[in-house]
Amino acid sequence: MSQIVEVNHPLIQHKLAIIRDKNTGSKEFREVVEEIAMLLAYEVTRNISTEEVEVQTPMCTAKCRMLSGKKLAIVPILRAGLGMVEGMRKLVPAAKVGHIGLYRDEETLQPVEYFCKLPTDISERDIIVVDPMLATGGSCVDAISMLKKRGASSIRFVGLIAAPEGIQALQKAHPDVDIYVAHIDDRLNEKGYILPGLGDAGDRLFGTK
């Protein structure tokens, strides 16, 4: 069964309070989402492999460690996942970025696929799927199925806020995918929105409502 990591760092808690606030405007919302993504990148990359290298310091030779092994790919679920990409890339600039376009049908809450563009070597990469909101879990479950269909096998999910329902659905569909989130909230409302949540992440990032 997958691992669920709720990253309860005080900096993350503080920044989450800012983005939950309905009076936080789009500019600050975007900036703080990016900062939280950077902090989550630190946690999700905790176990990636390193190798010993020798570096010449101004004084002598030092044995150091640098990243090795499989390369990373960050895959945002459009649109809202885009808000997390730059924060992650600040820490892992060599990561390639793939894009998966899905939106939830407002009536059925089912995800509808409209775009998929991935690095050609996606099956060889460690993949981090990013989306601020894991609500019913439908979008994330489908995005990961799309990745697996294209050969991906090493996948982690990173989000900001999850509903227990979304975590359960994701674990059931993809028990091999570890889940990293800043907070697990109470529940979904009748329209599939997370409570207390932060509202519609895409609209708040891009100012579309």
Residues 6+ away with beta carbon under 8 Å from 144: 129, 155, 157, 170, 173, 174, 177
Given candidates 20, 70, 71, 104, which one binds ligand PRP under the rule CB under 6 A? 104
Size of residue set near ligand PRP by CB under 6 A? 23
Query: C-beta of 23: minimal distance to ligand PRP in Å?
Result: 20
| DSSP E strand stretches across the chain | 4-6, 50-56, 61-67, 72-78, 96-97, 99-104, 111-117, 126-130, 133-134, 154-162, 178-184, 187-188, 194-195
**What is the signed CA dihedral for 187, 192, 196, 201, rounded to 10 degrees?**
140
Residue 197 touches which of ligand URA, ligand PRP, none (CB < 5 to 8 A by kind)?
ligand URA
Cβ atoms 116, 92 nearer than 8 A: no
Residue 192 near ligand PRP by CB under 6 A: yes
Residue number with CB closer to ligand PRP (126 or 131) = 131
Residue range at the interface with ligand URA (CB under 6 A); choices 58-66, 143-151, 169-177, 194-202: 194-202
How many C-alpha atoms does 45 have within 13 Å on its Cβ side?
23
On whether the CB atoms of residues 130 and 88 are closer than 8 A, the answer is: yes
Q: Which residues are catalytic?
A: 104, 108, 200, 203
Specify whether the backbone of 167 is left (phi greater than 0), alpha (psi in -120 to 50) or beta: alpha
Q: How far is CA 132 from CA 53, 81, 121, 184, in A?
A: 36, 6, 25, 12
Residue 193 interface partner, choices ligand URA, ligand PRP, none, CB cut-off 5-8 Å depending on type: ligand URA
Decide: is 87 part of the binding site for ligand PRP (CB under 6 A): no
Site map for ligand URA, 129-168, x if CB under 6 A?
----x-x---------------------------------
Structure token digits, residue 170: 């994701």
197 binds ligand URA (CB under 6 A): yes
Q: How near is the Cβ of 75 to ligand PRP at its closest, in Å?
A: 12
Residues 128-167 that bind ligand PRP (CB under 6 A): 131-140, 166
Binding site for ligand URA (CB under 6 A): 80, 133, 135, 192-194, 197, 200-202
Binding site for ligand PRP (CB under 6 A): 77-80, 103-104, 109, 111, 131-140, 166, 192, 200-202
